[in-house]
Amino acid sequence: MSGRFFIIALHEGGRIQEETWELVSFARRCGAAGPVMMVLSDEGSIERLAGELAHRTGLDVVGLAGSHLREYSAEAYIRTLVPFFRDASEEEEVHIAAAHTSRGIDFVPQLSIGIDACCITAVEDVGEGSFIRSLHHGRFRAEVRADRAKVVITVLPGAFAPEDIEPGKPGRIRIVPAGDISLSTRSRGTRAPVHANMGLTRAEVIVSAGRGLGGSENIRLLTMLSSLFPKSALGATRAVCDQGWLDYSHQIGSTGNTVSPRLYLACGISGAIQHLAGMRNSGMIVAINTDPHAAIFRTAHYGIVEDLTTFIPLLVDRCLKRG
């Protein structure tokens, strides 16, 4: 890919978000020559953040600084980034990548309109001058090509392994004052998770339910299955919690708990990326689903195509009989 390539590093509580290192791998896969790291913050912390990026990646860093960037808001990011990229000519190829996280997906599409760019979200692979993303619950992938010189991309967390970067000598740092923009959005801080579940994060075995469970009356199947394992807990996809079959403290996924038990039993879970984000580092993943094409079977170590309502009682029965 020709032209300039920028990686926007997001940060929270003074820490660079981990997905940033995956974006460096992504840029390399795109064949970007000398990608530039970008970070936005207030004057008090910009040099430290930019310094960390320059040391860890060896890439050049642009730090955009202004008091309006003390806390994240989409408005603050867009009103800083749009003027920065507007300087590029209409024909110049520019790629801008950020992580497909709740913040990335918040400001990136808005940025694309501001700079007349193409916006491609949740990218998980790179083609010949094209990008690949999942659709239809992970059953298919779409290969898409940008029809604009400027492209902004969100990259799916976990899609590109953070390579061992040997930075050599740190990159050059350029701090650019972004002015002090008065915003119409007021940040009121961050509230701690309402539904953090220590039992879930400590469990060695998690028996987890998706929409395929069918209804709250089948929760007893999960309880039955989990009783075979000491140190086990019940998990669920967001859809199951939305239905009220289990409360949100059981939710596993990008907006819920992140877990890595020794064994993850995925029951009736289709395998949406938001759920995989919360459990893909589990030691062993076993999936039970009636649909042989469910995306979860590509993440699972072992898959069983069966109906939960008959298979779980059978499994428990065989287990008890065999002692």
Partner 1 sequence: MKILVCVKQVYDSPETLVFDESTGQVTFGPHTVFRMNRYDEYALEEALRIRERLGGAVIDAISVGPARAAKTIRRAMELGADHGIHVQTGDIDSPGAFERAHLIAAAARGRGYDLVLAGVMAEDDMESQVGPLLAAVLEYGCATGVIFEEISGNGREIAVEREVEGGSRECLTLALPCVLTIQSGINTPRYPALSHVLRARSSELECIAASSLAVPPPAQSLVRILPPAQGRKGEIIEGTAVEKADKLIHILREHSLLPRQGA
Between CA 242 and CA 297 the distance in angstroms is 24
Nearest-angstrom CA–CA distance, 206 and 187: 37
Q: Which stretch binds partner 1 (CB under 8 A): 25-33, 37-45, 46-54, 183-191?
A: 183-191
Q: How many residues bind partner 1 (CB under 8 A)?
A: 104
* C-alpha–C-alpha distance, residues 131 and 200, integer Å: 36
Nearest distance in Å: CB 34, partner 1: 25
Phi, then psi, of 317 in degrees rounded to 5: -60, -50
d(CA 170, CA 147): 35
Residues 42-71 close enough to bind partner 1 by CB under 8 A: none
For the bound state, the minimum distance from the C-beta of residue 159 to partner 1, rounded and expressed in Å, comes to 10
Tell me the closest approach of the beta carbon of residue 38 to partner 1, in angstroms. 19
Amino acid at the residue 313:
P
196 binds partner 1 (CB under 8 A): yes
Query: For 16, which DSSP code?
Result: E
Touching partner 1, residues 8-47 (CB under 8 A) = none
Residues 153-182 that bind partner 1 (CB under 8 A): none
Indicate whether 191 belongs to the interface with partner 1 (CB under 8 A): yes
CB of 17 or CB of 54, closer to partner 1: 17
Residues 297-316 touching partner 1, rule: CB under 8 A, are 297-306, 310-311, 314-315
Copy the structure tokens of residue 161.
């392994």
The residue among 119, 311, 117, 83 whose CA lies nearest residue 218 is: 311
Residue whose structure tokens are 């990548």: 97
Q: Which of residues 239-298 bind partner 1 (CB under 8 A)?
A: 239, 241-242, 244, 248, 251, 254-258, 262-263, 272-273, 284-287, 291-293, 295, 297-298
Helices 308-322 and 219-226 meet at what angle, rounded to 10? 20
User: Cβ closer to partner 1: 28 or 280?
Assistant: 280
Site for partner 1, residues 72 to 131, rule: CB under 8 A: 72-75, 78, 101-103, 105-114, 117-122, 124-125, 127, 130
Question: Phi and psi at residue 209, in whole multiples of 5°?
Answer: -115, 145
